[in-house]
Amino acid sequence: MKLRVDRNLCIATGMCAGFSPDALDLDAMGQLVLLTENPPASMRADLQQAVSACPVQALSLTEE
């Protein structure tokens, strides 16, 4: 599984980090930080919620 963020779309609301704090966070400047690009399958449900919650669809989760 691969987690990606489109930095051109991301507006750093932090909604995604609320759903998956083990994989996503905001840094001191308020920018989204991927804590892992290859999360384990056990994070799938939380990450799917995070992707769905993004108001600008800047996150994607793919199988690789």
- For residue 64, what pLDDT is reported? 79
Amino acid at 38: N
* Second-level CATH architecture of 2-57: 2-Layer Sandwich (3.30)
Instruction: Please give the structure tokens belonging to residue 14.
Output: 């932090």
Parse the chain into domains and list their residue ranges. 2-57
Element (H, E) at 26: strand 24-26
pLDDT in tens, the chain (64 residues): 999 999 999 999 999 999 999 999 999 999 999 999 999 999 999 999 999 999 999 999 999 7
Q: What is the pTM of this model?
A: 0.89
25 phi and psi angles, rounded to 5 deg:
-155, 165
C-alpha 24/C-alpha 36 separation (Å) is 8
